[in-house]
Structure 1
Amino acid sequence: MAKIEPPLSHLPIKTADGGFYHGFSLDVTVTSKLAVGGLVLWAVAFPDQAGAILGGLNKFILANFAAWYVYVMAFFVLVCLALALWPAAGKLKLGHDDEKPEFDNFSWFSMMFGAGIGVGMLTWAVAEPIYHFRNNPDVIQGLATSENMDNFLNAYKWSYLHWGFSAWSSYAVAGLALAYFTYRRGLPLTIRSSLTPLFGSRLSGPLGHVVDIVAVIATILGVAQTLGFGVEQFVAGMSKIGIGGWLLNDEGNASTMGIIVALVIIMGASTLSALSGVGKGIKWLSNLNMGLSIFLLAFLMIFGSTWFGMKALFMGTLNYVMELPSMLFTVYRGDGTEMGAALEGWQGGWTVFYWAWWVAFAPFVGLFLARISRGRTIREFVLGAMIVPSIMCFVWFSFGGGTAIDMELNGAAGGAIFGSTDGAKIFTMTGLILGDYLGWAMAVLIVILLMTYLVTSADSAVLIVNTINAAGDEGPKARPHIIFWGVTLGVVVAALLLVGGLTAIQTAMVIGALPFSVVMVLMCLGLFKAIYRDGLRARHGVASVTVDAPLAAPAPAE
């Protein structure tokens, strides 16, 4: 029998010894800056050409890789379930066997939810159930009627599909792989470390640089997508509370000046928060937005359509869980019929787009989850990261979207919610419930909540990008680099919004996510191989945890 070797616990990554890039990998940092900067300059200097080429690439990907995105997300769900149920894996600590979690459960869930999906709740918890209530694959196939109660649960199963277990399983996979190899092996907290069971020490060189560069680009584009939606809603909210009509254009969308003002506010606050680190600004903001979220959700549960929301939550969740296997593996392909084209178009515009968004978000959220999850077991991490935030999403969608649908069905909204832009729907709905004065006060609260979510997502992304660029160094980063990525993220969003609107950001993000989806599959394979090999090491008395044991607290003075 072959000798059981200890695991690889050293992965040197060359970093600059001095100068502006001191402590940073020049290969990763400079290349990713040039790639992102080149995209922005190209989009601004040649908007028509950029729009045409990005659009063509997007059509090519949707036509040829839609099935890949569908199946790869189903694979991530299965991976998480397998890891939670695998006895040998579930009890392993993300760290030394004696380590305790750094953050309490409330802060852990708050940071996880705020950085991962929180900002999307304020737009899509109301907008998406309404959209699917009007059109979804069941309506297209004639199995349900648009805007009718026989389509009510269908609206929720498709909303839950996009924001539930699939989304969070992709985050959990990325976070678990990073935490496992960093806190059990002592490897750098960067994407390449999770591939060491497959490629070994070769990841110190160009292969590892490529992996990290792909992760940085995917992160910037994925967060840009979130900020793009958030900026549109933030501008709508500022206009709603009376900041000024100049924030909107004639179509009711954010004007050029509105976009610039919103990004200056959001990215300025994000950069200041990022400079303070995870334990201060980001933790404080995460707890604040969780508290405000609970208040807003409680308002919707009490003063919104309570019974309607409860029905959406319990019956919708049951329907979603029962139909999840079918929805996870169904790929709609054009067959030359009008129905086939409509189904393929719907899946490309919704499901495939969401899967690309979550994959692009995974290096950022995954690395952030790893950073805040040291000391937890694999089972605790997987179930906590996959199920708890999903349930929070279901509750938000039930009472947010359920109230809006009920108000439209009973005539209380009179088509006002249907007629609002996606970002303005929640403001319209709460205004109708509360009236002018209290509605204005609620709009102010929602704008503040939206601001905290956007800042949490952006500042976390800036810190994560710098961690990857610094070869996994979690320590304080040079201020100029934090400021650079804060400004760059804002410029990317502004450039793509002003050139082609949200469509341009969506297109760039779908393209950027594709190579990282391959990396994520390799991360899963590497994780399974590592856990299996660690089981063999345990049976042969070979140490598999190579990090130092946590220091014991000093005894009190007598």
Structure 2
Amino acid sequence: MSDLNAGQRPANGLFTGVDKPLAITSFATVLAFIAFTVLWPDRASDTFNATMAFIEQRLGWYYILAIGGLLFFAIYLGASPVGRVRLGRDDDVPEFSNFSWFSMLFSAAVGTGLLFWSVAEPMSHFQGNPYAALENTAPGGTAAAELALRITVFHWGLHGWAVYITVGLILGYFSYRRGLPLTPRSALYPLIKDRIYGPIGHLVDLLAIFSTLFGTATTLGLGVSQMNAGLNALFGIPISPTAKLILIGTVTLLATLSVCTGLKRGIRMLSEWNIHLSLILVLFFLIAGPTTYLLGLFSTTVGDYLSHAIQMGFWVDPNPDDQWQGWWTLFYWGWWFSWGPYVGMFVARISKGRTLRSLIFGGMGLAALGSMIWIVIFGGTALHLQLGDQVDLVSIVNQDKTQALFETIKALDVPWASTAMIGLTTLMIVTWFVTSADSGTLVICTMLSMGDSQPRTLYRVIWGLGLGGVAAVLLLAGGLQALQTAAIIAALPFSLVFLVMCYSLTVALRDEDGTPPTVYASAMHEDVQRKVHSA
């Protein structure tokens, strides 16, 4: 294992504590991408748009089948006898309490995104979507509102969480149970053995770093846009590129400070704080909003989602000219895939001692349920206000999606509480933002250091600031559309690796016959660790 004592490492040397070829290659690749985007913005935009169009028109079926297959794969693992296998030795116990574990899992994975889309997405689908035509649902009515919530819950439900949880259990299994580094390359050991320490392994980790960086930058860009909207509502701060850049810089510094404090202090404490703040906001909506309507809507939405999940999960739009599926479902599936290495690594890092079954049904089930509750309460309130003609949220969303949640809070018209809740929401965006950024930075540094759970502080600072820089560049290069495109493109290569990782896990699980598992760490593994930590 690679939990080395940081005090025993040489303090000098730029590449001390990281894999030198991987560190140089990853840094150079990111710099090249940023330079291309900044120096040749028109060519970069044309390239991104052409790649996006190719994925939408030619590879939509692949994303749909891959995500659907992974959900069934995860359920099979959890229900089969191997579900009893523990991430670690058979006598290991979980490192974190259930509350801390869920707080970190939920905060790192979906916090900022849910705040952004919980109102904006249902209001967008309420105006029209392909499923409405398939089901003969008239726009603008109660049935259209229920369909809009079902689609939103589908995008944030079991399919996406299957990616995060499956990556997490694969990486945790090979690290804690088989003695390999906590990096994506380790998952290929049953197939290529010690070649994971060569060019193939470097390529796999490089793809994971690239995917993590741009997937996280996408969410950070969405978050800072909404943060700017919240400050505008509170203090009249203009919504502008300059304001967004200042916010990115400020929150990036906070995230970098947080990641330097480590997992058990900064990240855990912020995550638990996020959940407590979220409960306050949820209770406000539930009490100040249409309480009875929301409770009934939750029951309806759960049944509606579960009865349509398989059908929606495998539906591919036959109309090549319709961009709805590309900019909604494929964006989400690409987003889940692009965040797969990051959230999966983080899930593995906090899940040592848990069984595959508890991770799959506990993590995936509770997280999907939490997302569903959030969406129904926030999105359901917005739809109720729209149906009652209390506020025209459709026009607001069409003009500026970042304003959707704040305008919903204002429309509830609770004099003293509305301003307080807008302030609380803005604060939550900051804390979710920081949690996502520091967790992403920790994951990238863990991969660069060949699985060390306490990577060198210098690299935490470099990549923490780098994450903010990439988010700023993408936001300036094309706004939300550029961020969405980057997430989908970054996801494609790693999704292929992920499918191979799933097969490799099935090969390794064949040895789980009740006897202590074979440790894969070899002499080459030990040699690589010595080189990394004595550079």
TM-score normalised by L of structure 2: 0.93
Task: Determine whether 1:22 maps to 2:2.
Answer: no
Whether the aligned pair in 2 keeps the contact of 1:305 and 1:399 (CA below 8 Å) is no
Displacement of 1:507 after TM fit? 1.5
2:100 aligned partner: 107
CA distance in structure 1 between the aligned counterparts of 2:135 and 2:86, rounded to whole angstroms: 50
CA distance in structure 2 between the aligned counterparts of 1:165 and 1:177, rounded to whole angstroms: 18
CA distance in structure 2 between the aligned counterparts of 1:396 and 1:41, rounded to whole angstroms: 39
Q: Which amino acid aligns with 1:456?
A: T
Task: Determine whether 1:300 maps to 2:312.
Answer: no
1:365 aligned partner: 343
Q: Which amino acid aligns with 1:132?
A: H
Displacement of 1:346 after TM fit? 1.1
Displacement of 1:153 after TM fit? 2.3
CA distance in structure 1 between the aligned counterparts of 2:482 and 2:254, rounded to whole angstroms: 25
Q: More displaced, 173-182 or 136-145?
A: 136-145
Whether the aligned pair in 1 keeps the contact of 2:211 and 2:339 (CA below 8 Å) is yes
3-state secondary structure, aligned to 1:434: coil
Q: 2:451 aligns with which of 461, 467, 472?
A: 472
Task: Determine whether 1:341 maps to 2:321.
Answer: yes
Superposition map of 1:159-170 within 5 A: 159-170=152-163
Displacement of 1:403 after TM fit? 0.5
Whether the aligned pair in 2 keeps the contact of 1:227 and 1:493 (CA below 8 Å) is yes
1:41 aligned partner: 35
Q: More displaced, 42-51 or 150-159?
A: 150-159
Q: 2:309 aligns with which of 307, 324, 345?
A: 324
Q: 1:149 aligns with which of 142, 145, 165?
A: 142
Superposition map of 1:170-319 within 5 A: 170-242=163-235, 244-245=236-237, 247-248=238-239, 255-319=240-304
Q: 2:362 aligns with which of 384, 387, 397?
A: 384
Q: Which amino acid aligns with 1:509?
A: A
3-state secondary structure, aligned to 1:387: helix
1:447 aligned partner: 426
Q: Which amino acid aligns with 2:453?
A: E
Q: 1:426 aligns with which of 367, 381, 405?
A: 405
Q: Which amino acid aligns with 1:192?
A: R
3-state secondary structure, aligned to 1:341: coil
Deviations 1:13-39 (A, max 9, x none): xxx986101121112111111111111
Whether the aligned pair in 1 keeps the contact of 2:511 and 2:517 (CA below 8 Å) is no
CA RMSD of aligned residues (A): 1.8
Q: More displaced, 197-206 or 181-190?
A: 197-206
CA distance in structure 2 between the aligned counterparts of 1:310 and 1:49, rounded to whole angstroms: 50
Q: Compared with structure 1, are the counterparts of its residues 238 and 363 closer, same or farther at alpha carbon in structure 2 (3 Å cutoff)?
A: same
Q: Which amino acid aligns with 1:378?
A: L
Q: 1:74 aligns with which of 62, 68, 77?
A: 68
Task: Determine whether 1:482 maps to 2:482.
Answer: no
Q: More displaced, 311-320 or 352-361?
A: 311-320
Whether the aligned pair in 2 keeps the contact of 1:408 and 1:417 (CA below 8 Å) is no
Q: Which amino acid aligns with 1:297?
A: V
Task: Determine whether 1:354 maps to 2:332.
Answer: yes
Q: 1:501 aligns with which of 457, 476, 479?
A: 479
CA distance in structure 1 between the aligned counterparts of 2:494 and 2:269, rounded to whole angstroms: 31
1:552 aligned partner: none
Q: More displaced, 516-525 or 312-321?
A: 312-321
1:556 aligned partner: none
Q: 2:79 aligns with which of 71, 79, 85?
A: 85
CA distance in structure 1 between the aligned counterparts of 2:202 and 2:18, rounded to whole angstroms: 12
Give unmatched runs, 5+ long, in structure 2. 3-8, 522-535
2:502 aligned partner: 524
2:53 aligned partner: 59
Q: More displaced, 258-267 or 308-317?
A: 308-317
Displacement of 1:420 after TM fit? 5.7
Give unmatched runs, 5+ long, in structure 1. 1-8, 11-15, 249-254, 335-339, 548-558
Q: Which amino acid aligns with 2:353?
A: G
Displacement of 1:303 after TM fit? 1.3
- Percent same amino acid among aligned pairs? 35
Q: 1:136 aligns with which of 129, 132, 138?
A: 129
Whether the aligned pair in 1 keeps the contact of 2:180 and 2:520 (CA below 8 Å) is no
CA distance in structure 1 between the aligned counterparts of 2:258 and 2:268, rounded to whole angstroms: 10
Displacement of 1:451 after TM fit? 0.6
Q: Which amino acid aligns with 1:369?
A: V
